[in-house]
Amino acid sequence: MSKKDALSQLRQAKSAHIRWRSYAQALVAGIPVEQDHVPVMHTDCKFGKWYYGEGQKLSSLSSFEAIETSHQILHQIYMEIFRLLFGEDDRSALKKLFGSKASAKWKKQEQAGRLMEKLVAVSATLLEAIGLLEQEILDVYEGTE
């Protein structure tokens, strides 16, 4: 793989991650988002498809492996958000008796917001790791196209 191809693929994957994060943020803000725009599994998003597909050609680079953990954590946090906002609540009958529906929804939104803050922080870590990989590609492929 040429330096140009490697950088192009990495930058496209990075852009896909940023779009994924913006869709997740929109969802938490209450803006409807199609489910295929914010997949739950880390292997189903565009970044994950690149990382576990074409990106594996870069797996010999030392900074490549550091990306995986942050990426998986992002999707775990998102899964928590998704379950919180859209999952079944085992205590729904009790909530009907002891709390208002609006209050419960507000609490879920508040929790989702806190989880989104964590997701954004992990995203920043992932973007730093991608930046290190980008720099390593530039260093390793120095003088090549």
69 within 8 A of 122, measured Cβ to Cβ = no
**Cβ(51)–Cβ(58) below 8 Å:** no
pLDDT of residue 99: 57
Write down the pLDDT at residue 88. Answer: 57
Q: For the chain, which residues make up each domain, given as ranges?
A: 3-140
User: Which pLDDT score, from 0 to 100, does residue 142 have?
Assistant: 65
pLDDT of residue 33: 82
Distances (CA, A) of 1 to 51, 130, 139, 145: 15, 18, 14, 9
User: Whole-angstrom Cα distance, residue 96 to residue 51?
Assistant: 45
Find all residues with CB under 8 Å of 129, minimum gap 6, and list them. 63, 66, 67, 70
Check residue 100 and give its pLDDT: 62
134 token code pair: 């980008």
User: What are the 10-residue block averages of pLDDT along the chain, 145 residues in total?
Assistant: 90 94 90 79 91 95 94 93 75 52 76 94 96 94 63
CB 13 within 8 A of CB 47: yes
What does the pLDDT read at residue 49? 93
Provide the terminal-to-terminal Cα distance of the chain, rounded to the nearest Å. 9
Give the pLDDT of residue 89. 54
